[in-house]
Amino acid sequence: MTLVETIPDACDLASNHSILDSWIDLARSAKKEIMIASFYWTLTEGTQALGGAKGVEVYHELEKAAARGVKLRIAQSAPTDAFPDNDTEYFSLHRIAEVRNVNMSAMFGAGVLHTKFWIVDDQAVYVGSANMDWRSLTQVKELGAVVTNCQTMAEDLRRTFESYWLLAGRTTLPTSWPHRTHTHINMKHPEHSMINGKEGDWFLTASPSEICPPGRDIDIDAIVAMIDEAQDFVNIEVMDYVPVAEFQAEPLYWPKIDDALRRAAWDRAVDVKLLCGNWSNTDPIMPPLLRSLQEVGEAIKAGGMNGSLEVRVLNIPVDPAGSFNYTRVNHAKFMVTDQRSLVTTSNWSADYFLTTGGVSLIVKQAQAVADLLAVFMRDWGSKYAALVPLAGR
């Protein structure tokens, strides 16, 4: 598993592999088929001074792949006024790609298809936080995982893609799923494979439960299980962390992850670290909820107990070249424990697990744990990490 990142300009965090290069390599390597599941597409709508050409570069590589006979299939969240998906409309009109729209809101009353993954020739996959957006390649801090030469993983992720393909155009949920969407790979039965040259166990999960065909575990169950099995540390980096529903009409307190983190630190003396994004669009309810977790950590310390619970936020500096909407934020979403690594496409509020489509890759392998831990500790100890801001600031 190779970790790939976008580190925005003016942010001097070292990274070895870029998402831009990985997407270009995947597109160039394709011989038969590329499947992409995505939230929205704005690769060609960038500002030149802020790196918009990088999005166009990926767009053109996909065009070139189609021109040499590679089948391109795209499952995306249904377009809206805010996200009209002009890129994929062009692909569809010019028969460059077959595009299908998944309307989560029609089926659930809320939500989007928030997934972001690639499958190439049933051999290679990308799963991560980056949208098909020029900003994700230049202006937003992102993280993803690329696994190559792993047919079993690519075929298993294809089963999730095929479930999206079947959901396209629907306004109601299916009552059954065809066998091609079923899986036997899950938490109880992980797959043992060579992952980028090293042996490891892995499984994929998805959200919400209603669109998980038989055999597929749901994200929240895997997240809580990972926290519950940790013996030494739990480190989480995610843009939004709120134990409530942010986007539903009715209030909903949803502390499944919150409770697991408190149990780990208090009951089992695990060292828990949580690093969240912080920017102008941060929900004002998030800082007080984060401080409530920090208070648990203070109580553990005051009681002379082992274990810890610490919370920080990551601030991405502005670009000297200018600014653009919805940029300069840590958009990465991952967790690493002493046992496993998890790379996901979802933020951590109730909505992302109940009404919004997402995918996670969970790997048990010493190298995967070490690599993701190194990224987390780099960010946690960087000059961009800070205490949770006080209310109203």
> End-to-end CA distance of the chain, in Å?
39
Give the C-alpha separation, 38 to 10, whole Å.
Answer: 28
Question: Could you list the residue range(s) of the whole structural domain that residue 211 is in?
Answer: 2-386
Q: What is the pLDDT along the chain (393 residues), one digit of tens a residue?
A: 999 999 998 899 999 999 999 999 999 999 999 999 999 999 999 999 999 999 999 999 999 999 999 999 999 999 999 999 999 999 999 999 999 999 999 999 999 999 999 999 999 999 999 999 999 999 999 999 999 999 999 999 999 999 999 999 999 999 999 999 999 999 999 999 998 889 999 999 999 999 999 999 999 999 999 999 999 999 999 999 999 999 988 899 999 999 999 999 999 999 999 999 999 999 999 999 999 999 999 999 999 999 999 999 999 999 888 888 899 999 999 999 999 999 999 999 999 999 999 999 999 999 999 999 999 999 999 999 999 987 654
In a domain, 299, yes or no: yes
Q: 391 in a domain, yes or no?
A: no
**Considering the domain boundaries, does residue 22 fall inside one?**
yes
306 inside domain: yes
Can you give the pTM of this predicted structure?
Answer: 0.97
Q: Per the structure block, which two tokens stand in for 81?
A: 């006024």
Q: Is residue 393 part of a domain?
A: no
Q: Directed axis angle between helix 286-302 and helix 256-268, to 10°? A: 10
Q: How far is the C-alpha of 136 from the C-alpha of 341, rounded, in Å?
A: 22
Contact by Cβ (8 Å): 3, 372: yes
Is 331 a known active-site residue?
Answer: yes
Catalytic residue among 331, 351, 371, 379: 331
How many folded domains does the chain comprise? Answer: 1
In a domain, 52, yes or no: yes
- Which alpha helices (DSSP H) does the chain contain, by range? 19-29, 52-67, 86-93, 104-108, 151-167, 219-229, 256-268, 286-302, 350-354, 366-380
Among 121, 122, 201, 228, the one annotated catalytic? 121
User: What CATH number corresponds to the domain at position 271?
Assistant: 3.30.870.10
pLDDT digits (tens, 9 = 90+) for 327-347: 999 999 999 999 999 999 999
Nearest residue to 131 via CA among 372, 393, 333, 374: 333
Q: Tell me the per-residue pLDDT of 147-184, one tens digit each, with 9 for 90 and over.
A: 999 999 999 999 999 999 999 999 999 999 999 999 99
Helix 86-93 and helix 52-67: axis angle, to 10°? Answer: 20
- Per the domain annotation, does 60 fall within a domain? yes
Per the CB < 8 A criterion, the answer to whether 134 and 52 are in contact is yes
* Residue 116 annotated to the active site: yes
Catalytic residue among 54, 114, 141, 273: 114
Told to judge if 192 belongs to the known catalytic residues of this protein, a careful annotator would answer: no
**Residue 222 domain flag:** yes
